[in-house]
Each structure stands twice: as C-alpha cells, then as structure tokens.
Amino acid sequence: MFGRRADGVRVRELSTLRRFMPFISPQRNQSLVYFSQEVDVEPALELLDLFNRDRPSERRLTLFHLLLRALVRVLDERPRLNRFVAGGRLWQRDDIWITFGAKKRLDEQAPLVTVKLKLDPQASLETMLDQVHAALQERRSERKDGAEREMEWLLRLPSPLLRLGIGCVRALDALGLLPAAMLRSDPMYASVFVANLGSVGLDAGYHHLWEYGTIPIFCVLGRVRAGADGRRRVVLKYTYDERTEDGLYCARSLEILRELLEKPSLLL
C-alpha cells in the first residue's frame, strides 16, 4: 500500500532535500515555478498547411496537436517530469495522461469541458489525432462523462457534507487508496494540463495549479504573432510544482520541447 498506488510507484532514490520538500511546502501553490518560452512556429505552420491540404476540416492537424505530441515525447524521454506529490511522498506516474480544456462551442456563453487522454508515445501521429478528435467530439456532445455525473450528484449534497466528502477523497488519496477507476476518469489526475488560449485569440498567461488531484504542470499556449522579422511565433507559459523535480531538469526538458516544435518533422 505504501510503495504503490493505482496510478504510480513511489520514488525512493531521492536526495534528503527532495524528500523533505513536500513537508515544508505541503501545497502545490507554495512550490510554483513559472517559465515562459517563445517558439518560432514558422516551420510548424508551413508543415500544417501541407499536411492539411487534402484533409477534411474535422480531421485537420493543428499547432495544438503538435504541442500535445511534443509533450508526450518529452514526458517519455524525460520521465522524472512525469512525477507527482501525494501524501507527502513523490510518485512516478505509470502512464502519460494529458488533460486539456475545450469550449463546447466558440461562444462566450458555451460551457467549458475537460478532456483527459492516455497517450502512447509510440503511437503514430494519425492514431493520436484520431484519439483527440474522437474525445473532443464525445465531450462536445450532450453526453456527460463519469466525472461530470459524479460532480452533479455531489453538488446535490449540503455544503458541509460536500466539504466532508472532498476531505475524505483527499485523505484516501494521501494514503494511496483511491480506486483505479476513479483515478482514470478524473481529469485532475494527469501528467499535465494544457490550455489553448490561442484558439480563442488570447495571449498565454500563467495559471495556478489545482490543489485537488495530482497535476504538477500547467501549460498555456498563446496566439500566433508575427515577430519583427516577419516570422510567426507563439508564447508558451508553464506553471510547475518544483517539489517533483528541480528547475534545471524541467528547463532542459522544455528546451527539448521547443526543439521539437521548431523542427516539426521530428514529430512525424
């Protein structure tokens, strides 16, 4: 029970400081590191034009898809980035799970839905694209997923009982006793959360990390802008829980991600 969870295995070979950090900073938002990247996406956008030339609109590849693919590649090659803190201990996540938000419609009044996917770094780009499109289509329908139905049921409870229930979930999570089915369906138990603000014409901004769940990284993609040299660029902004791994390892991992996006043929 104490060396294994339904979603990961405890990391034991750690420095004294790394083991102690969750106890002096018990919350994610006490341990935030902010990081910003400007990425030259001119080659990526040219590749997308060629790739999508004869494809139907519902099967188009976008810059957001390339970002997801690059994140999966980096999490696979740099596995220490795919760790999380729970119960004051550090855990290595079993698989690569990515959660992202999407509007049901391009409308200010449309509700926001979350999509959570287990992505295989060895799968083809077409396979990943099929997964993302299928998941988006399902979540944009009127059908509700398990996590949404659970939240609606919980919201029927009086506030004190709801807080007690959330507290029980947190306690079970700290002990590693949450069932695998719940961890698989809950979007807050993932390797990274990605927000595509560029899709609604906004610049990237820093986002907090949720204390609920185990997500240690938040990545925000901003809109494409032309630089002074005429080349198109985007800004990526990250919020990172430093308790999981030191900032140097994270920064070097993100440099690999930048290289993948700036040389998109590596993602194909």
User: What's 63's domain CATH number?
Assistant: 3.30.559.10
pLDDT exceeds cutoff 70 at 107? no
119 located within any domain: yes
Mean pLDDT of 19-39: 94
pLDDT one-digit tens code per residue, 110-126: 677 889 999 999 999 99
Q: Give the CA count within 13 Å in the CB-facing half-sphere of 147.
A: 15
230 located within any domain: yes
**Residues sharing a CB contact under 8 Å with residue 124, sequence separation 6 or more, in sequence order:** none
Q: What is the pLDDT of residue 228?
A: 87
CB of 193 closer than 8 Å to CB of 97: no
pLDDT one-digit tens code per residue, 123-137: 999 999 999 999 988
128 located within any domain: yes
Overall domain count for the chain: 1
25 located within any domain: no
- In one-letter notation, the amino acid at residue 32 is L
Mean pLDDT of 202-228: 95
26 located within any domain: no
- Domain hosting residue 50, numbered range: 4-17+33-267
Mean pLDDT of 167-186: 92
22 located within any domain: no
- Of the candidates 260, 210, 224, the one whose C-alpha atom is nearest the C-alpha of residue 101 is 210
27 located within any domain: no
pLDDT exceeds cutoff 90 at 61? yes
**Residues sharing a CB contact under 8 Å with residue 167, sequence separation 6 or more, in sequence order:** none
CA gap 132, 117 in Å, rounded: 8
* pTM metric for this prediction: 0.92
23 located within any domain: no
CB of 38 closer than 8 Å to CB of 233: yes
User: What would the two tokens of residue 49 be?
Assistant: 């034009």
